[in-house]
Amino acid sequence: MRRSNLLWIVPSLAFCAAGYYGLAFGRLTINASDSLQGNAYAMVTWPLDIRPGTIAAIKLPEVLRDKFDGHELYLTKRIVGIAGDPVSVKGNTFCVNDSCVEGQLKDGKLVSPLWQGDVVPDGMIAVFGDSADSLDSRYAVIGPRPVDDVIAAGIEIAFPHWTTIREWLR
């Protein structure tokens, strides 16, 4: 094979492999809430990067699945703790490692009980949203999430808010 042919064959094969990988393992996750700052995340289903700081799409807890009429929705949150990481609760403040969030109050009372534990259990992760009213691991209803419930992990990408897209389509 001539060297000049290799100059276009090798990049073409690399482009095709990257495209196949994106189609096979990639997904775009739209954030329809204010729980994280970003509006969209480029995610992959394999390999999963399960470590603090990673944004993850996680299956809804059983208690919430019925509330969304069978739609395939996921919690999109930032991983703040993995198995063995310390957990502490002081009043309304919930901490995993050095990441602390306040439980939301309504009429001076917590809107939901905080998750109680000393460490993130084996096979579990703790996740937080960026907003004060995020439904995340601080609350017992969500609590630690099984690593097996992580569907995809990824990074924030520039993308307009869904309300902006709705306006464009009108």
Rounded to two decimals, what is the model's pTM? Answer: 0.84
Is pLDDT of 66 > 80? no
pLDDT at 128 over 90: yes
Instruction: Return the closest-CA partner of residue 86 out of 76, 73, 99.
Output: 99
Residue 161 pLDDT:
83
Q: How much is the average pLDDT of 87-108?
A: 92
Percentage above 90 pLDDT, the chain: 59
Would you state the torsion angle of the CA atoms of residues 144, 39, 49, 151, taken in this order, to the nearest 10 degrees? 60
Helices (H), ranges, the chain: 3-25, 62-65, 162-169
Q: What is the pLDDT of residue 1?
A: 61
**Average pLDDT estimate for 62-74:** 78
